[in-house]
Structure 1
Amino acid sequence: MYRKILITTDGSAVSQHTACAGVKFAQQMGAEVLALFVAPDYQYPVYVEIIPPSYPSEEEYVAQMRRLGEEYMGKIMRSCAGANLQHACMTAFSDTAALKIVDVAEQEGCDLIFMGSHGRSGWGQLLLGSVTNKVLSHTTKPVLVHRLISEPASG
Structure 2
Amino acid sequence: MFTKILVAYDGSELAKKALQMAIQFSKKNPNLQIDVIHVYQIPTIAIADGIYTPSAKQALQYYENAEKVLEEAKKIAEEQSVNINAVLKEGIFAKNIVDYADEAGCDVILIGSRGLSGLKEMFLGSVSHNVVQKANVPVLIVKLKI
1:104-131 deviation line (CA, Å, top 9, x unaligned): 1111121111112227x9xxxx699711
Give the partner amino acid of 2:35. Answer: L
Unaligned runs of at least 5 residues, structure 1: 151-155
- Number of residue pairs the alignment of both structures matches: 138
Please say if residues 3 and 33 of structure 2, whose CA atoms lie closer than 8 Å, have aligned partners that are also in contact: yes
In the aligned structure 1, how far is the partner of 2:62 from the partner of 2:143? 32
In the TM superposition, residue 67 of structure 1 has moved relative to its aligned partner by 3.1
Partner of 1:68: 69
Match of 2:100 in 1: 104
Q: Given the alignment of the two structures, is residue 133 of structure 1 paired with residue 133 of structure 2, yes or no?
A: no
Instruction: Looking at secondary structure, tell me which structure has more strand per residue.
Output: 2
- State TM-score, norm by structure 2: 0.74
- 2:24 equivalent to 1:24: yes
Residue equivalent to 1:87: 84
Question: Separation in 2 of the partners of 1:10 and 1:128?
Answer: 18
The answer as to whether partners of 1:5 and 1:112 remain within 8 angstroms in 2 is yes
- Report the Cα offset of residue 87 of structure 1: 1.9
Backbone CA RMSD of aligned residues: 3.3
Matched residue, 1:35: 36
- Does the C-alpha gap of structure 1 residues 118 and 26 become closer, same or farther in structure 2, counting only changes over 3 Å? farther
Q: Say if 1:117 and 1:129, in contact at 8 Å, map to a contact too.
A: no
Which amino acid letter does the alignment assign opposite residue 18 of structure 2? T
Higher mean displacement: 18-27 or 30-39: 18-27
**3-state SS in 2 of match to 1:70:** helix
SS of the equivalent of 2:67 reads helix
Superposed CA offset, 1:47-94 (max 9, x none): 89xx87xx72544543442233323x1344325x52xx4421111111
Question: Using the alignment, how far apart are the partners of 1:70 and 1:142 within structure 2?
Answer: 26
Which residue is 2:8 aligned to?
8
Listed as ranges, the matches of 1:52-67 within 5 Å are: 56=57, 58-67=59-68
User: CA separation in 1, counterparts of 2:135 and 2:71?
Assistant: 26
Instruction: Give SS of 1:77's match.
Output: helix
Do structure 1's residue 114 and structure 2's residue 115 form an aligned pair? Answer: no
C-alpha displacement at 1:17, in angstroms?
Answer: 2.1
Equivalent in the alignment of 2:145: 149
